[in-house]
């Protein structure tokens, strides 16, 4: 956990790194973050007096994914995200409160905006006319629902006070729609609604559990509008009101609650408000919250923590999981914090969750998901595993009819990730932050249009190429992230190697006049590393670059009736077809209870990297399609078994003395393993 203790120190490293490398290479420097003392002329960042951003989100649609990321978005479109409207009762249009001019009707809470948040962005990115038309149907209805006093949508009262949580999510939907369409209705609509919030007494504002925990989402929207509205200083007063009425995420040694989704999206609230307060203590609080949950419940691989609904004392083993909602909210928080702090740590964590945890939460065809996924998960069935899992019910079942919140909220994960692959910088440049095959079109430098392609099979391959396309020569800075895990990053520009070294956890800044088809080649050497989880029985996880590797367990898929295996609060339309949308249990068809044999330091005989051809369908997140695997020496641990609750047994204390013989096992990327052991005992 030492790395987390260094995060906040890094955030105040200032320009020392930049000045230390200022003379190294013509136009190439190594910087801790971009200079945010200047203002981007083409994309909307923070307006004064807010703290300037280090990275600025480009409008949705500016980044077009390619390769495996495009494949994932297409699977979403053709799978659960794109077809949830024919399954979920909350998306049924008959008497739907979100489609009602007066907000009256059924299903008027979080489910519709949760789904629309990702569904709409998916359509805008893919330029899918069917999705865009459907999204606009809901957006138009929301805009038509605004009352004279400014309130919009369904009015839910909790103890006589309005519950604003659903509206917080819908505001994010409206922001994306504005970025895509420039719909002139959006800004005055939001301004009128925020006037209503501004006039609401504090005693009536953000008092229910969910809205109270998640006021930071409301804050994001207020700043978004402020940055697009000249002289609306009253919005900053509203921001103060939101901050003081939101749960206290600034505690020194505690969190206001331990719900996994609340933590994943709300820990960033103090850093969000830091943009206005400029108080170092606010920024520190977000880093501290991140550290608190991971010190106590996150000594596991995959970027998340154990909170199978809520984090509970005594339940910190890697068999404890996290909601799919929690994963996508953590990714969104990381992406927001990239812009606020400039700290490459947040991009590292976004990749950790996106590559190692989130893919395993959904079926390979994206037609079902499960509520809970854990780093050590040797079974995924329809049984009740309480009290090993916080709640009672079939929470490990891959079921498209189930998991209510996750069933809808999963949609944001990959679209939001894709939108942050490239971001704008304050100095009219571009930054490649989340590496993936993609293409970005943006205005840079003196206002010229540029198109930049990124190519390569990262995170499975260590080389990423960038090709610049421009009709005319154009000067602008281009930033490349050097991940914290990467030593000895190498750079070539038009085939010429740059001689300097680049510090892990920093950025390479290339400031030059670019010509059409200039090519950058970034190599991020991926070495096998072993992470020891001292607080989790001295277990270890095996990493290569940003990927963690898990035991390959033979996965036996057992088809089941989605209605019969759904969690108790699930609801579906009468016409929803469980034959078209089946559920699956995933049972182990091979042994899973292995410990690894390894020596210190790691030698080539301990772990061997095996590279295979790239999958023809561009989808590497299936066990038999992974382009990289690792072979390792292991021994079975007979005493490590499924426990009395039907869950993977708690880790034994390492080192474990066994008399079983050495075997060679295969480790595959953690995200491709829907059954997996990712935190291993060490055997002797």
Give DSSP secondary structure letters for 368-436: -B-SEE-SSBS-B-SS--TTTSSS-S-TT-B-TT--HHHHHHGGGHHHHHHHTSEEE-TTS-EEE-S--
**CA 65, CA 458: separation in Å to the nearest integer?**
13
**Chain centroid to CA 166: how far?**
21
Which contacts of 184-192 are long-range, i.e. CB under 8 A and separated by 24 or more positions? 185/143, 186/143, 187/225, 187/228, 187/229, 189/143, 189/146, 189/152, 190/221, 190/225, 191/225, 191/229, 191/232, 192/146, 192/150
Boundary residue ending a domain (190, 217, 244):
217
Dihedral sign of CA atoms 581, 585, 590, 593 in order: positive
Boundary residue ending a domain (163, 193, 217):
217
Using 70 as the pLDDT threshold, list the residues of the chain that sit under it.
1-26, 603-604
Dihedral sign of CA atoms 128, 130, 131, 132 in order: positive
Maximum distance among all Cα pairs of the chain, rounded to whole angstroms = 76
The 10 Å Cβ neighbour count of residue 557 is: 16
**CA 14, CA 36: separation in Å to the nearest integer?**
11
Instruction: Decide if 17 is inside a domain.
Output: no
Instruction: Decide if 646 is inside a domain.
Output: yes
What's the confidence (pLDDT) of residue 99?
A: 98
Instruction: Decide if 619 is inside a domain.
Output: yes
Dihedral sign of CA atoms 492, 498, 499, 505 in order: negative
Boundary residue ending a domain (217, 241, 275):
217
Query: Which three-class secondary structure state does DSSP give residue 557?
Result: strand
**Residue 474 backbone dihedrals phi, psi, to 5 degrees:** -150, 135
Instruction: Decide if 149 is inside a domain.
Output: yes
Asked if 542 and 632 touch (Cβ cutoff 8 Å), the reply is yes
Instruction: Decide if 145 is inside a domain.
Output: yes
Instruction: Decide if 519 is inside a domain.
Output: no
Per-residue b or e along 497-535, where b marks 16 or more CB atoms closer than 10 Å to that residue's CB: ebeeebbbbbbbbbebebeeebebbbbbebebebeebeb
Number of domains in the chain: 2
Instruction: Decide if 259 is inside a domain.
Output: no
**CA 376, CA 676: separation in Å to the nearest integer?**
6
**Residue 366 backbone dihedrals phi, psi, to 5 degrees:** 60, 35
Asked if 380 and 642 touch (Cβ cutoff 8 Å), the reply is no
With vertex at residue 668, the alpha carbon angle to CA 663 and CA 674, rounded to the nearest 5 degrees, is 110
Q: Does pTM top 0.85 for this prediction?
A: yes
Asked if 263 and 308 touch (Cβ cutoff 8 Å), the reply is no
**Chain centroid to CA 540: how far?**
24
What's the confidence (pLDDT) of residue 604?
A: 64
Per-residue b or e along 227-253, where b marks 16 or more CB atoms closer than 10 Å to that residue's CB: bbbeebeebeebbebbbebbbebbeee
Instruction: Decide if 443 is inside a domain.
Output: no
Query: Which three-class secondary structure state does DSSP give residue 352?
Result: helix
Domain that holds residue 193: 79-217
CA distances (Å), 471 to each of 447, 468, 477, 517, 556, in order? 13, 10, 17, 10, 53
CA distances (Å), 3 to each of 78, 291, 396, in order? 40, 10, 32
What's the confidence (pLDDT) of residue 14?
A: 40
**Spatial CA neighbour of 550 closest among 373, 669, 681:** 669
Q: What is the DSSP letter of 354?
A: H
What's the confidence (pLDDT) of residue 26?
A: 53
What's the confidence (pLDDT) of residue 300?
A: 99
């Amino acid at each position: 956990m030492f790395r987390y203790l260094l995060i906040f120190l890094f955030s105040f490293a200032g320009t020392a790194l930049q000045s230390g490398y200022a003379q190294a290479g013509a136009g190439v420097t190594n910087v801790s973050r971009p200079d945010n003392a200047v203002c981007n002329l083409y994309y909307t960042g923070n307006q004064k007096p807010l703290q300037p951003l280090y990275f600025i989100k480009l409008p949705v649609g500016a980044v077009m994914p390619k390769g495996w990321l495009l494949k994932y978005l297409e699977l979403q479109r053709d799978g659960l995200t794109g077809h949830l409207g024919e399954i979920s009762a909350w998306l049924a249009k008959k008497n739907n409160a979100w489609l009602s001019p007066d907000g009256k009707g059924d299903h008027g809470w979080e489910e519709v905006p949760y789904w629309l948040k990702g569904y709409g962005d998916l359509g805008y990115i893919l330029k899918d006319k069917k999705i865009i038309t459907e999204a606009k149907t809901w957006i138009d209805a929301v805009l038509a629902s605004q009352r004279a006093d400014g309130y919009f949508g369904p009015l839910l009262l909790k103890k006589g006070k309005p519950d604003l949580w659903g509206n917080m999510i819908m505001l994010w939907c409206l922001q994306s729609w504005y970025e895509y369409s420039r719909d002139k209705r959006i800004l005055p609509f939001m301004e009128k609604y925020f006037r209503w919030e501004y006039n609401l007494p504090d005693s009536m504002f953000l008092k229910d559990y969910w809205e109270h925990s998640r006021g930071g989402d409301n804050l994001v929207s207020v700043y978004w509008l402020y940055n697009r509205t000249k002289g609306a200083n009253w919005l900053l007063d509203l921001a103060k009101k939101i901050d003081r009425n939101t749960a206290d995420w600034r505690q020194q040694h505690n969190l206001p609650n331990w719900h996994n989704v609340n933590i994943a999206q709300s820990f960033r609230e103090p850093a969000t408000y830091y943009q206005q307060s400029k108080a170092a203590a606010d920024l520190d609080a977000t880093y501290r919250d991140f550290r608190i949950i991971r010190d106590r419940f996150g000594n596991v691989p995959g970027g998340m923590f154990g909170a199978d609904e809520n984090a509970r004392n005594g339940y910190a083993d890697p068999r404890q999981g996290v909601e799919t909602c929690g994963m996508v909210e953590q990714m969104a928080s990381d992406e927001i914090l990239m812009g606020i702090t400039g700290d490459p740590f947040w991009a590292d964590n976004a990749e950790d969750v996106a590559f190692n945890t989130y893919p395993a939460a959904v079926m390979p065809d994206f037609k079902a998901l499960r509520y809970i996924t854990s780093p050590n998960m040797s079974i995924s069935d329809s049984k009740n595993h309480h009290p090993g899992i916080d709640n009672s019910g079939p929470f490990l079942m891959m079921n498209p009819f189930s998991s209510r919140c996750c069933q809808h909220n999963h949609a944001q994960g990959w679209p939001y990730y894709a939108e942050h692959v490239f971001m704008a910088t304050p100095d009219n440049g571009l930054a490649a932050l989340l590496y993936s095959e993609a293409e970005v079109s943006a205005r840079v430098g003196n206002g010229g249009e540029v198109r930049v392609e990124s190519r390569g099979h990262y995170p499975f391959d260590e080389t990423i190429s960038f090709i610049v396309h421009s009709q005319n020569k154009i000067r602008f800075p281009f930033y490349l992230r050097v991940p914290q895990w990467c030593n000895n990053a190498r750079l070539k520009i038009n085939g010429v190697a740059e001689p300097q070294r680049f510090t892990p956890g920093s950025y390479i800044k290339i400031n030059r006049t670019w010509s059409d088809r200039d090519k950058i080649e970034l190599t991020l050497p991926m070495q096998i590393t072993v992470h020891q989880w001292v607080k989790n029985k001295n277990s270890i996880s095996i990493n290569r670059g940003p990927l963690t590797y898990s035991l390959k367990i033979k996965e036996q898929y057992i088809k089941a009736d989605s209605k019969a295996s759904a969690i108790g609060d699930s609801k579906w339309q009468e016409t929803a077809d469980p034959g078209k949308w089946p559920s699956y249990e995933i049972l182990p068809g091979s042994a899973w209870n292995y410990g690894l044999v390894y020596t210190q330091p790691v030698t080539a005989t301990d772990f061997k990297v095996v590279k295979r051809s790239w999958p023809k369908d561009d989808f590497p997140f299936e066990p038999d399609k992974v382009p990289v695997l690792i072979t390792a020496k292991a021994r079975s641990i007979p005493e490590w078994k499924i426990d009395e609750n039907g869950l993977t047994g708690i880790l034994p204390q390492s080192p474990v003395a066994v008399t079983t013989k050495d075997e060679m096992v295969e480790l595959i990327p953690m995200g491709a393993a829907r059954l997996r052991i990712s935190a291993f005992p060490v055997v002797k």
